[in-house]
Amino acid sequence: MSLPVIVTRTLPGARDTAENLTRLGFAPVLSPMLSITETGLAPSDLKGVRHLIFTSANGVRAVRGAELPPDLTAWCVGPSTADAAREAGFATVIGGDGNAEDLARLILASYPNGPLLHIANEAAAGELVAALKSGGFEARFSAPYRTDAARSLSADALAAVAGPGPVILLLHSAKAATAVAASRPDLTNAALVAISQAALAPLQNAVSRGHWIAARPNEDSLMDALQRAAAALCP
């Protein structure tokens, strides 16, 4: 029987991760710990903007219905977000391969011309824009969607962690991990695999079979960390 892997990522990205897991021979168990509610992008938020900054594919999806100027540059935190921007029709996409701090450094080193707008949920407001402003750029923030936490892992996920065998809990974000922690599941049989140290932090002290962190905060590195965890669980 394939090793079960609980996917806490938000839909629809959770399905992409599940497809990757299936190809790698794992048994994905969907349990999104956050849901997305789009609230809309005010036209005034786009006034004069030449560049949009996306720190997740959720931000890209949240602006697809907006009337965007055709010549906007999309700055994306990683490959998955960059792919989403291209699929959404952005002609100029510049992708990073790290976290929001890495993306800020990339932008600062590239000297983009014109105002920048960071698109993300309300919890992400602040640091990236502050870094750009401190570098002398005109930058601001808009939250055209919000994230709401699930009350608990899904029934299938709870059954997996309650089973006699090992299971892997996959953590794509600190908010998802916080939602898991708040529901207080028994993670004794679970190995925790996180996309970053920040994503692991809310469950750092949970009693578990151990934890593994991706070398880089992207999906490919996360899959590498997961396979290391699987090898340790099932030698």
Q: How many angstroms separate the CA atoms of 34 and 173, rounded?
A: 10
Q: Which pLDDT value is given to residue 25? A: 96
Strands (E), 33-106: 34-38, 51-54, 73-76, 92-95
Angle at 214 between CA 178 and CA 117, to 5 degrees: 65
Q: What is the pLDDT of residues 96-109, one digit of tens each?
A: 888 888 999 999 99
pLDDT (tens digit per residue) in 182-203: 999 999 999 999 999 999 999 9
pTM score, whole prediction? 0.87
Residue 64 binned pLDDT confidence (cut-offs 50, 70, 90): confident
Q: φ, ψ for residue 179 (rounded to 5)?
A: -65, -40
pLDDT given for residue 69 in this prediction? 84
When the pLDDT of each residue in the chain is averaged and rounded to a whole number, the result is 93
Q: Which domains does the chain have, with CATH numbers?
A: 4-33+151-233 (3.40.50.10090), 36-146 (3.40.50.10090)
Single-letter residue type at 82: A
Can the peptide bond before residue 4 be classed as cis, meaning omega within 30 degrees of 0? no
The CA distance from 149 to 146, in Å, is 10
Per-residue pLDDT at 1 exceeds 60: no
The alpha carbon of residue 193 and the mean position of all alpha carbons in its chain are separated, in whole angstroms, by 14
Q: Is 90 exceeded by the pLDDT of residue 126? A: no
pLDDT for res 77: 93
Q: What is the Cβ-side half-sphere exposure of residue 132, based on CA atoms within 13 angstroms?
A: 28
The answer, yes or no, to whether residue 57 has pLDDT greater than 60, is: yes
With bands split at pLDDT 50, 70 and 90, how would you rate the model's confidence at 26?
A: very high
- The H-or-E segment that residue 213 falls in is strand 211-213
- Give exposure, 90-116, as e/b (b: 16+ Cβ within 10 Å): beebbbbbbbbeebbebbeeeebeeeb
Instruction: Give 29-54 pLDDT, tens digit per residue.
Output: 999 999 999 998 888 899 999 999 99
> What is the phi/psi pair of residue 8, to 5°?
-95, 0
For the ranges 23-27, 112-116, 188-192, the lowest mean pLDDT is seen at 112-116
Pairing state of beta strands 34-38 and 145-149?
A: antiparallel
pLDDT at residue 123 is higher than 80: no
Distance, CA of 193 to CA of 227 (rounded, Å): 10
